[in-house]
Amino acid sequence: MKSIHLLITVVTGVFLMLGSLDMADTGDPASPPSTHVSPRYLETGYEETAVPNIVTAVLADYRAFDTLGEVTVIFVGALAVLLILRTDGEDDRP
Amino acid sequence: MSTKSDDIVITTVCRRLAPFVQLFGLYVIMHGHSSPGGGFQGGAILAASFIMLAVAEGPATIGRRFSWRALTGCTSAGVLIYASLGVLCLALGANYLDYAVLPFAEPRSVGMLIIEIGVGITVMAALVSIFRDLLQY
């Protein structure tokens, strides 16, 4: 059984590494991430949002729904720790 | 970790330092849209100030400042602020989390500030809550 787990892990790892070979080079100006939405954010971001920090403009405005998911992850993490560990408290309910 | 530090230098320095750390955390949250920072970073700094106090003065200091109920409520309230701003945008006739319809001079900037505050509340309360839960073991 353990050898099957090891096999699955190794095969998955090999495929993930193969997939990472197709990723665009960091900072490559001709790659799709650098030619599609990034220039538009940089050129029109300040006019549209009136926020000088483009990173925040992308995170909190253009990708606000994604950030809502991140906050929910943190909330659920705290909730999971609470449910597993909290045994006492001011009230009797866990 | 149930004992407090007996060293007067540590307790005094932490107690004097905590307000400045908290002020810096609030600054990072409120200036997230014009300088590096934001809700996640500022919330972590705020939580760090309370964790620092707990390390110096003993774990009971968190219990004196936050009840279980308040911590859990703050953790939920931040997410609620964020999500309800999106619903408010829906009610005003735009897409979910499309701040452009908010009735402010620079609506998208103000919308970002509101959700950064929500994120900051959630991150601060979640980190303190996790720290307080883990302290019992």
Domain boundaries defined on chain B: 8-135
pLDDT band at A88 (very low <50, low <70, confident <90, very high): low
For residue A49, give the nearest of B78, B108, B126 by CB distance.
B108
Asked if A55 reaches chain B (Cβ–Cβ under 8 Å), the answer is: yes
- Collect all residues with Cβ–Cβ distance below 8 Å to A40 and sequence separation of at least 6: none
Check A85 against B137: CB less than 8 A apart. yes
Asked if A76 reaches chain B (Cβ–Cβ under 8 Å), the answer is: no
For residue B33, give the nearest of A53, A64, A67 by CB distance.
A53
Query: In the structure encoding, which two tokens stand for residue A44, read together?
Result: 């029109």
Q: A72: nearest CA in chain B?
A: B79
> pLDDT by residue (tens digit) across B12-55?
999 999 999 999 999 999 998 888 888 899 999 999 999 999 98
- Collect all residues with Cβ–Cβ distance below 8 Å to B82 and sequence separation of at least 6: A67, A68, A71, B115, B118, B119, B122
Cα–Cα distance measured from residue A93 to residue A82, given in angstroms and rounded to the nearest whole number: 12
Check B129 against A71: CB less than 8 A apart. no
Quote the pTM value: 0.83
Check B112 against A87: CB less than 8 A apart. no
Domain range annotation of chain A: 1-28, 37-88
Contact A87, A81 (CB under 8 A): no
Angle, helices B107-135 vs B8-30, to 10°: value is 150
> pLDDT by residue (tens digit) across A22-70?
887 877 888 877 888 888 888 888 888 888 888 888 988 899 999 999 9
Check B38 against A59: CB less than 8 A apart. yes
Instruction: Give the dihedral sign, CA B42/A49/B90/B111.
Output: positive
Cα–Cα distance measured from residue B52 to residue B4, given in angstroms and rounded to the nearest whole number: 12
The helix/strand/coil state of B127 is helix
Cα–Cα distance measured from residue B130 to residue B104, given in angstroms and rounded to the nearest whole number: 36
Asked if A83 reaches chain B (Cβ–Cβ under 8 Å), the answer is: no
H-assigned helices in B31-106:
39-57, 60-65, 68-91
Burial class of residue B10, CB neighbours in 10 A (0-12, 13-18, 19+): middle
